[in-house]
Structure 1
Amino acid sequence: MHAAFCLIRGLSLTRLTPEPADALAGQLAALGLALPYVSADHATATAFAEAWRRRTGATPTLRDRLRLYRLGTLTPPAPHPGGRARLVGGRDHEHLMRWVREFAADVGEAVIVDADSWAGTRFADKRFTFWETPDGTPVSMAGSTSMVGGMVRVDPVHTPAHLRGRGYAGAVTVEVSRAALAAGATDVVLYADPANPTSNALYQRIGYRPIADWAVYDFAPAAPEAG
């Protein structure tokens, strides 16, 4: 008998305890589904990954661990850097792509970002804002998603390495968050690497509150049995 497998793009889960996670893994394995990854709050993702390993023999590897934040009371940074926010336009596209490439490299994201591939990246449908110094020099950027169900996610936030520590990231994140609220968002959220104390402290200073730790596990297929 040959097992039939159907590859799906991945699995995103709401919060589950280990017992329902195990039951779900059993149901999906019985359907012959091959999962490339699971994404959920850390406890749920870990429980499902272990259950999937037991059920299928696939090896889980932690790809990302992120901390989810939700905006409470927006608080501009103090001291506030000089300058202003400006929406990114068509004339900024080369500059924007360069910074997105730098961001992807910083976070270990394997993505090709150039004029030919841009439309297919996860960044193409975002709205971007630059923070500029008083002389008009861009020094930081933040993106945001379209509003869905009253929620906007701030992503990505990037300041070139040689310009960090001057308050630019906080200033541009505040402006993007303020724009989301002005557009009617009821929830403004973002993710941060829990291993980065600088970004986590920054987001909390400007009003973001931690909600949950998130994890993404990739699954390597089990080795076929001999014969």
Structure 2
Amino acid sequence: MMDRDWHITGDLDQFLTRAGEFLRSRPALHTVHLTVTAALRSRGLRMYGEGDPVFGALERDGEVRAALFRTPPGRLMLTPLTAEEAVELASQLALRGAELPGVMGELDTASTFAEAWASRTGALSELHARQRLYRLRDLTIPYPPPPGRPRVATAKDREQLMRWYVEFAEAIGESGTSQNPGEWADSRIAYGGITLWETPDGTPVSMAGLTPKVAGQVRVAPVYTPADLRGRGYAGAVTAEVSRMAKAAGADEVLLFTDLANPTSNALYQRIGYRPVEDFAGYDFHPAPAPR
């Protein structure tokens, strides 16, 4: 347990007993916390790396107000905090000697924490990405569709999925914190979590994934088309298909994140029927250069 009402633990079940109801109360804003903790429960605490995950809940007056987790080597992941809470948390973690590679959260929370962390530790804070969370409203299937058809990936697609997962992680600058490609592919194949768009001759040209449903929400992730195949409508078609599948399976919320630096994908998802929910930001922390 940490001072000032933060309860920190390495016990996932203990964390979910304390914070689970809070996370489920706003499933869209808490989508990452919900899906990651569910995956850790089913696949093991070290699915992202060898370090031990850390979980935390901010509780005041008997009520959980915020939550955090970190799965090394990844960033600290925060639910929305007030500016005061973000500064307090940065100060407390710095006093404990915590080593953080970065932070990710709602835009104001992440930026306030990053500034406070840099001030307390002397680290350099660098904006990694700004993202926008979208929610599906009324699905619009692109017409006319590109040539070909959707198909749920199976074991025969394992090598393809592994290769594309690595390429996707590199493209978004997350290769250092991504999962083992083989384990990722196996887990997705096991529950039908990746759909491919293939050309009429059966060649896969794009993929879109769905996270398992947790608290009624499903997130579309990842969406990837190799660079030389973009601009042909494949990503829009396969994203619309997995969005349709999620709604047909009873999801209350179908969500996805986009990189705000990519106007093409943001426009595409809005044409399909996604509408903005909240902006997020990720920051990387680097040691300050040694004095010369």
- Which category describes the TM-score, using the shorter chain as reference length? 0.7 to 0.9
CA distance 1:7–1:49, change in 2 (3 Å): farther
Q: Which residue of 2 aligns with 1:208?
A: 274
Q: Which residue of 1 aligns with 2:217?
A: 151
Identity over aligned residues, as a percent?
A: 58
Q: C-alpha distance in 1, partners of 2:95/2:158?
A: 47
Amino acid at match of 1:11: L
SS of 1:210 mapped into structure 2: strand
Residue 191 of structure 1: which of 237, 250, 257 is its match?
257
Large movers: runs of 4+ above 6 Å: none
1:111-126 aligned at under 5 Å gives the runs: 117-121=180-184, 125-126=187-188
Q: Deviations over 1:96-155 (max 9, x none)?
A: 2222233233223325999xx42455x653311111223322221111111111111111
TM-score calculated relative to the size of structure 1: 0.84
Amino acid at match of 1:182: A
Q: How far off is 1:37 after superposition?
A: 1.9
CA distance 1:181–1:7, change in 2 (3 Å): closer
Is the 8 Å Cα contact of residues 137 and 275 (structure 2) preserved in structure 1?
Answer: yes
SS of 2:138 mapped into structure 1: coil
Which protein has greater RCO, CA pairs closer than 8 Å, 6+ apart? 1
User: Does residue 229 of structure 2 align to residue 166 of structure 1?
Assistant: no
Q: C-alpha distance in 1, partners of 2:53/2:227?
A: 39
Q: Which residue of 1 aligns with 2:83?
A: 18
Q: Hey, which of these two has a bigger chunk of helix by percent?
A: 2
Please list every run of 5 or more consecutive structure 1 residues that lacks an aligned counterpart in the other structure. 1-5
Q: How far off is 1:206 after superposition?
A: 0.2
Please list every run of 5 or more consecutive structure 2 residues that lacks an aligned counterpart in the other structure. 1-51, 55-69
Q: Which residue of 2 aligns with 1:3?
A: none
Is the 8 Å Cα contact of residues 131 and 141 (structure 1) preserved in structure 2?
Answer: yes
User: Does residue 198 of structure 2 align to residue 132 of structure 1?
Assistant: yes
Q: Which residue of 1 aligns with 2:142?
A: 77
Is the 8 Å Cα contact of residues 15 and 40 (structure 1) preserved in structure 2?
Answer: yes
Is the 8 Å Cα contact of residues 100 and 285 (structure 2) preserved in structure 1?
Answer: yes
Q: C-alpha distance in 1, partners of 2:289/2:149?
A: 55
Amino acid at match of 1:125: S
Q: C-alpha distance in 2, partners of 1:113/1:60?
A: 21
Q: C-alpha distance in 2, partners of 1:180/1:33?
A: 39
Q: Deviations over 1:145-203 (max 9, x none)?
A: 11111111111111222322221111100111111112221111111111111111100
TM-score calculated relative to the size of structure 2: 0.67
Q: C-alpha distance in 1, partners of 2:254/2:288?
A: 39
Is the 8 Å Cα contact of residues 67 and 211 (structure 1) preserved in structure 2?
Answer: yes
Q: C-alpha distance in 1, partners of 2:290/2:227?
A: 46
RMSD between aligned residues: 2.7
User: Does residue 164 of structure 2 align to residue 102 of structure 1?
Assistant: no
Deviating more after overlay: 208-217 vs 44-53: 208-217
CA distance 1:37–1:124, change in 2 (3 Å): farther
CA distance 1:133–1:49, change in 2 (3 Å): same
Is the 8 Å Cα contact of residues 21 and 47 (structure 1) preserved in structure 2?
Answer: yes
Amino acid at match of 2:246: A
Amino acid at match of 2:187: D
CA distance 1:7–1:61, change in 2 (3 Å): farther
Is the 8 Å Cα contact of residues 125 and 145 (structure 1) preserved in structure 2?
Answer: no
Is the 8 Å Cα contact of residues 162 and 182 (structure 2) preserved in structure 1?
Answer: no
Q: Which residue of 1 aligns with 2:128?
A: 63
SS of 2:143 mapped into structure 1: coil
SS of 1:174 mapped into structure 2: helix
